[in-house]
Structure 1
Amino acid sequence: MTGSGGRGARWTALLAVVLVVVAGCTAPAGPRPPAGRWVPRPGTAWQWQLDGRVDPRADVPVYDIDGFENTAGDVARLHRDGRRVICYLNAGAWEDFRPDKDDFPASVRGRPNGWSGERWLDVRRLDVLRPLMERRLDMCRRKGFDAVEPDLMDGYLHDTGFPLRAAHQLAYNRMIADAAHRRGLSVGLKNDLPQIPELVGRFDFAVNEQCAEFDECARLVPFVRAGKAVFHVEYALAPGDFCAETRRLGLSSMRKRLRLDPWRQAC
C-alpha cells in the first residue's frame, strides 16, 4: 500500500532522522544529565557562605555551604525554605582541620597552597584519592545536599610539589564528577578555565572567583550556552565595575568578602 498514510510515515521517519542529526550537532559534549538531576539555569541567584554554620536569611534560591561544618538539619532547614543546597568540599588540597585528615597519607600531600593548614594533593593518585573523595561525597548525600562544589580543581596550574599535567587534572576532575553523579548529586566545576571545553558536558554548573578582575569571564560562556549556571564572585571590585558585563554574559554574580561570611552584595 502506498497511499498518503505510507508517505506520511516516511516523512515522519525522515524528520526524526533530521532532528537527531541537528541535536547531535548543537548539543554540548559529554553525557546528558538524567531527568532527575538538578541543573541550575543561567542567572540563578545564590549565596556562598563557608565561614561557619549557615545563616539562612539570604532570600535566594541556591545556597553553597561547607559540607563538614553544616548538619543535615541545616540542609533540611534550607530545603523547607525552598532552597537548593550545594555541599562545598576541598577536592584539591589536604586540610589539617578536617575530621578525616589522618586518612590522607603523607605521600599525597604536597606544598602549601597559601591557605593556613592546607597542602596541594597529588591528583595523579586516583587509587588513593578516589575512596577518600567518595566518602566525602557520601557525607554530602547523607546530609541531603543537592549538589557538590569540589574546590581547587586546577592544581596543575600551580606549584603543587608534584609534576601535574593537564591530562592528570582532566582525569581527576572527571572522576570527581562521575562519583558525584553516581550518588545523585549535581556537581560544579570550580575555576579550571582552560579545561572548560573538555568538561562542560561533564559538569552541571560552574563556580568561579574573580573572572572579572582577571578579564576571564568570557571563557565561562560555554556553560551558559549549555543552559548551566555560572556562580561567580568578585572580592576586590565593586559591583559597578563588573555587574553589567557579567549580567550580559549570563553569569550569576555578586561581591563577597574573602572570608565568605554571610555578607553579600548581589548584582
Structure 2
Amino acid sequence: MNDLGRTVNESERTVDDLERTVDGVGARHTEAMRSWIGIVAVLVALTACSSPSEPSPTPGAAGTGSYRDLPTTGDADYQLGGAYDPPPGVTIVVRDSTAAPAAGRYSICYVNGFQTQPADADRWLSEQPDAILRRADGKPVIDPQWPDEMLLSTTTPAARRAIVDFLTPTIARCADRGFDAVEFDNLDSSWTRSDSALREEGNLALASSLVDVAHVRGLAVGQKNTPQLGQRGRDAGFDFAIAEECVAYRECDAYTDVYGPRVIDIEYTDIGHTDIGHTDIGHKDIGHMDTGHKDTGGSWAAVCARADRPTRTMLRDRDLVAAGQPGYVFDHC
C-alpha cells in the first residue's frame, strides 16, 4: 500500500474513534461533536491529497527534461550568418533559431535572449512593450553597435516574465527542430551598454528562467560571454560557455575554470581594437591576417599553441558569412 492509501485508512480510523466518542456524550453535545467530526474528516482528506511523498511538479523546473551535454571532442563552427555544410572535422555547429540544425552534428540554437532581433522588433513593441528598456523620454534603449536591436528590460519580475513568455515559443521551436542546445546572446547587456539602467542580478534572474525553459524542453544551455560571472553562471544553470575573443582579451581562464573542456571560443579576423600581438600571440594585429583556411604561419599558429586557450578555438570573419561568400574565413586549432 502506498503512503496515500495508508493516510486515508488512518483518517477513516480517526473518524470512527470520534464517532464512538460521540455515542458516550450527552445529547446536547452530540451535534457539536458531529460537526467537528466533519471538519476533521475534510482536513485529513486534504492532507492525504497533498502528501509530501508525491510533491507537485514545479512548472519550469530545471532538469525536468533530459538533455545532451556539449561533447568534449571534435571541432566547432559558428554559422550565424548563413548555414552551410560543416567543414571536415566539425562536430558542433551553432546556427540561428530560424535555421535547421546541422544533420549528424551536435547543434546549438542561437537565441537573442536580452535584446530584440531586428525581424521581431515590431512584435516586441506591440505584444510586450513593457519588456523594452526605455530612456527617460520613453524611447527604447538601442545597442550602439547593433542599432537595429533594442535592449530588453530585466528590471522587474513582470518584465522578465514578459520576456520569457515571448521567447518560450522560439526555444520550443529549437527543440522541435532537433537542436541539442541553445545559447542566449547579450547576457552582458547590463554590464556594457545599458548605462547602469540594468543590473547584473536582473539579467541573471532572467537567464535562470530561460535556462529552466530550455532544460524542460531537453536543451542544454550555453553561457554567452560575461567572463566576470565566474561560478555564478554555473549556479544560474548554464551547462557550457561560448566566448568571443577570450584569447584576445585574456579571459579564457574565467570560462575554463568553471566549465572545463566545455568551452567554445571564437576569435575574429578584424580585431583592430585589440592588438593580439600585445597578448604574446605574435607581432601582427590579427585583423590584418590573410587567413582563409590556411595556417597563417605566425599569429594564428601561436594562438593555437597557447596552453590557456579553450580546446575548441576557431577563427571567423566578423560577419560570420556562409562558406563561398566574399570575406568568409574559418580556421580552427
Tell me the TM-score normalized by structure 1: 0.76
Q: Which has the higher contact order (CA 8 A, sep 6+)?
A: 1
Tell me how large the CA RMSD over aligned residues is: 2.5
* Residue aligning to 1:98: 120
**Residue deviations 1:47-74 (CA, integer Å, cap 9, x gap):** 111113x101422111100112x1xxx3
**Residue deviations 1:209-243 (CA, integer Å, cap 9, x gap):** 01111111111122443xx5111011133423422
Distance 2:119 2:312 in 1: 31
More strand by share: 1
Kindly indicate whether the alpha-carbon contact (under 8 Å) linking 1:189 and 1:206 is maintained by their aligned counterparts in 2: yes
Q: Measure how far apart 1:38 and its partner are.
A: 1.1
* Residue aligning to 2:331: 265
Structure 1 runs of 4+ aligned residues shifted over 3 Å read 31-36, 41-44, 98-104, 247-251
Structure 2: gaps (5+ residues): 1-60, 134-139, 272-285, 287-298, 323-328
Does residue 230 (structure 1) correspond to residue 263 (structure 2)? The answer is: yes
**Partner SS state of residue 94, structure 1:** coil
Equivalent residue for 1:147, pick from 173, 181, 187? 181
* Residue aligning to 1:86: 108
Kindly indicate whether the alpha-carbon contact (under 8 Å) linking 1:97 and 1:117 is maintained by their aligned counterparts in 2: no
Q: Measure how far apart 1:161 and its partner are.
A: 5.5
- Out of 92-101 and 145-154, give the one that drifted further: 92-101
- Out of 43-52 and 209-218, give the one that drifted further: 43-52
Distance 2:192 2:252 in 1: 20
**Partner SS state of residue 194, structure 2:** coil
Does residue 56 (structure 1) correspond to residue 78 (structure 2)? The answer is: no
**Partner SS state of residue 38, structure 1:** coil
**Compared with structure 1, are the counterparts of its residues 112 and 43 closer, same or farther at alpha carbon in structure 2 (3 Å cutoff)?**
farther
Kindly indicate whether the alpha-carbon contact (under 8 Å) linking 1:84 and 1:146 is maintained by their aligned counterparts in 2: yes
**Compared with structure 1, are the counterparts of its residues 248 and 40 closer, same or farther at alpha carbon in structure 2 (3 Å cutoff)?**
same
**Compared with structure 1, are the counterparts of its residues 34 and 264 closer, same or farther at alpha carbon in structure 2 (3 Å cutoff)?**
farther
Distance 1:32 1:127 in 2: 16
**Residue deviations 1:145-179 (CA, integer Å, cap 9, x gap):** 11111110111102326621121121111111111
Distance 2:65 2:112 in 1: 28
Equivalent residue for 2:150, pick from 116, 119, 122? 119
**Compared with structure 1, are the counterparts of its residues 229 and 107 closer, same or farther at alpha carbon in structure 2 (3 Å cutoff)?**
closer
- Structure label with greater radius of gyration: 2
Does residue 186 (structure 1) correspond to residue 205 (structure 2)? The answer is: no
**Compared with structure 1, are the counterparts of its residues 45 and 33 closer, same or farther at alpha carbon in structure 2 (3 Å cutoff)?**
farther
Structure 1: gaps (5+ residues): 1-30
Does residue 221 (structure 1) correspond to residue 243 (structure 2)? The answer is: no
- Out of 115-124 and 184-193, give the one that drifted further: 115-124
**Partner SS state of residue 120, structure 2:** coil
**Partner SS state of residue 118, structure 1:** coil
**Compared with structure 1, are the counterparts of its residues 188 and 216 closer, same or farther at alpha carbon in structure 2 (3 Å cutoff)?**
same
Distance 2:113 2:266 in 1: 20
Distance 1:122 1:43 in 2: 37
Aligned letter for 1:239? Answer: W
Q: Measure how far apart 1:33 and its partner are.
A: 6.3
* Residue aligning to 1:8: none
Tell me the TM-score normalized by structure 2: 0.62
**Compared with structure 1, are the counterparts of its residues 45 and 250 closer, same or farther at alpha carbon in structure 2 (3 Å cutoff)?**
same
Distance 1:104 1:187 in 2: 24
Distance 2:64 2:300 in 1: 36
Identity of paired residues, percent? 24
Q: How many residues align?
A: 225
Distance 1:34 1:234 in 2: 35
Aligned letter for 1:56? Answer: D
